Amino acid sequence: MKILVTGGAGYIGSHVVKALGEKKYDVAVYDNLSSGNRWALLYGELFEGDLSDIKRLETVIESFKPHAVMHFAASIVVNESVINPLKYYNNNTSNTINLLNAMIKHKVNTFVFSSTAAVYGIPDKIPVTEDDPMLPINPYGSSKMMNEIILRDLSNANSDFRYISLRYFNVAGADNECRIGQAYKDPTHLITRALKTAIGQFSKMQIYGTDYNTPDGTCIRDYIHVDDLSNAHILALQYLFDGGQNNIFNCGYSCGYSVKDVIDRVKKVTKKDFSVEEVLRRQGDPPLLVADSSKIRRVLGWNPQFDELEIIIESAWRWEQKLKKLFNE
Ligand code: UFG
């Protein structure tokens, strides 16, 4: 089966491309390389292009003739979305419409969508289930929620079109063989910032807010290893190919760690002490986000292999050390 992966040169996309390649799928990647890297592709052919370039996109779909599309290409930084919302509505919502238009035109009817826990906003109860309302508190979450609504309406209008939305919680970690991992030019994610501070790339790190209504006052998140998330994509794709119907799944471990917990674990794993400064809250951060992941375990038979924060941090730490050597970052 042929799978077109948008954003397949990026952090999560490249891990899913690896998993698809290992399962012998025929993969092509559509990526504008704005945050992805050519070296991150362990399998498949790269078609360089932007999702706003409809002609290029259609040419690639016409020539590759995918049986399914997996859509990762997106802007993902919560705080940036508050400052520059139109970037998020363009890159995440308009570009998804371009992609869906091209798919419908060329009769590609199977779709796996990268959604996010940010669609929930500040949930009434934790852990949050897929049936809880979507009430995003930042443009990033809103841009992804709009896509979920578009997918629902499109599949209602077109019974041939089937999709799965995977709502990612906080993705971290790297390939176990250390071939690929997170390599953003301007990393903002907690585990990456902490590791880059441990390795000396930053002189200190900051905790954004210690006055949240949580046990230690810092935000709580559900961290998931990127390879477990990749495996969820393979199961979702297989489910659709086997005739499964539209569905939405949380991707997390149902286990929450505070910012302070994460920093302590990073110090333990790396055996490095580093300076940590407590500063004001960052805009757009919900205090608490933890997944109820029983649905994906039950329906797709998802069985995570790396569901332990230290395993995630260890793999990301190996990757950061390799990155430093390779690129002398
Ligand atoms: N944080 C710090 N200091 C840092 C970086 C982050 O205190 O240097 C805090 C944040 O304020 C937040 C927590 O650590 O409370 C996690 O922040 P991240 O930037 O690592 O991740 P987010 O929770 O903001 O967002 C991530 C993804 C989104 C996804 C969301 C789902 O980037 O795409 O997880 O929970 F939607």
One digit per residue, pLDDT tens: the chain, 329 residues? 999 999 999 999 999 999 999 999 999 999 999 999 999 999 999 999 999 999 999 999 999 999 999 999 999 999 899 999 999 999 999 999 999 999 999 999 999 999 999 999 999 999 999 999 999 999 999 999 999 999 999 999 999 999 999 999 999 999 999 999 999 888 999 999 999 999 999 999 999 999 999 999 999 999 999 999 999 999 999 999 999 999 999 999 999 999 999 999 999 999 999 999 999 999 889 999 999 999 999 999 999 999 999 999 999 999 999 998 887 65
Is residue 136 within 8 Å of 123, Cβ to Cβ?
A: no
Q: Are the C-beta atoms of 57 and 75 separated by less than 8 Å?
A: no
Are 80 and 87 within 8 A, CB to CB?
yes
The best mutation among 119, 257, 259 to test binding of ligand 1, ranked by most ligand atoms within 8 Å of the C-beta, falls on 259
pLDDT of residue 54: 98
The answer to whether the CB of 144 is under 6 A from ligand 1 is: no
Domains identified in the chain and CATH numbers:
2-172+224-251 (3.40.50.720), 190-221+254-291+306-328 (3.90.25.10)
Q: Which of 14, 71, 81, 75 is nearest to 42 (CA)?
A: 14
Helices (H), 126-272: 139-157, 190-198, 226-241, 259-270
Query: For position 283, what pLDDT does the model report?
Result: 87
Q: Whose CA is nearest to atom 34 of ligand 1?
A: 170
Task: Mark residue 205 as left, alpha or beta (left: phi above 0; alpha: psi -120 to 50; beta: remaining).
Answer: beta
At 327 the pLDDT is 75
CA 69 – ligand 1 centroid, Å: 27
Closest residue (by CA) to atom 19 of ligand 1?
189
- Two tokens at 188? 């903002």
Residue written as token pair 């669609």: 119
Report the alpha-carbon distance of residue 315 to residue 224 in Å, rounded. 12
Residues in the chain: 329
Q: Does the beta carbon of 128 lie inside 6 Å of ligand 1?
A: no
The 8-class DSSP code of residue 312 comes to H
Ligand 1 pocket, residue 170 CB under 6 Å? yes
Tell me, using a 6 A CB cutoff, whether residue 219 lines ligand 1.
Answer: yes
Closest among 247, 225, 243, 241 to 303, alpha carbons compared: 225
* CB distance 117 to ligand 1 below 6 Å: yes
Euclidean distance between CA atoms 211 and 149, whole angstroms: 34
What pLDDT sits at residue 325?
87
Residue of 11, 30, 43, 140 marked active site = 140
Q: Whose CA is nearest to atom 35 of ligand 1?
A: 169
Tokens of 204: 């200190």
140 is catalytic: yes
Six-digit token string for 126? 């934790």
Neighbours of 87 (CB within 10 A): 16
How many other CB atoms are there within 10 angstroms of residue 145's CB atom?
A: 20
To test the ligand 1 pocket, which listed residue (189, 266, 280, 290) has its Cβ within 8 A of the most ligand atoms? Answer: 189
